Amino acid sequence: MPDYERRVDFSEAAEVRGELLPNENAVLITLVGHDGRRSTLTIPVADLQRLVPLLLLLGRALPQTEPADAARLSLVPTDSLSVGGLPRGETLLAVAVGPATVGFSIPASAAEKLGRSLLLAARDATEPTSVQ
């Protein structure tokens, strides 16, 4: 890696914060390492639409490992959820979060399980429901 290029490693962060930059229509991510060094990443809102699927696809390509005991499920409040058909028979599941919408292609069998789980969750919102 060239001297002018510094690697930002989130796994070595002591603190990660995000803030909105409304005047720039961007999101600012600040990472503080255990040594106190700061790194910042500014992401224009238009690029969030590309960044989220890129991170998910890159993560999917990594070897599957068991999650650490400390790993928790991150809950992200969504603005909307849409479903539809795709040309090869899969189901499109589109999830909107703020200015970004991420589309997932899921097999018909998974869409059926998802539909049943959503119906069960709507019937009894106090019980956690899982789709396998």
In order of 6, 7, 23, 36, 130, the CA distances from 47 in angstroms are 22, 21, 16, 28, 31
Residues 6+ apart with CB under 8 A from 98: 48, 79
pLDDT at 19: 95
Look up the pTM and report it: 0.60
pLDDT at 68: 62
- SS3 label, residue 102: strand
- SS3 label, residue 39: strand
What does the domain layout of the chain look like in residue ranges? 10-48, 80-123
Cα distance between residue 30 and residue 9, in whole Å: 12
Local mean pLDDT, 10-residue blocks, the chain (132 residues): 68 89 93 88 89 86 72 80 89 88 88 85 65 50
pLDDT at 61: 87
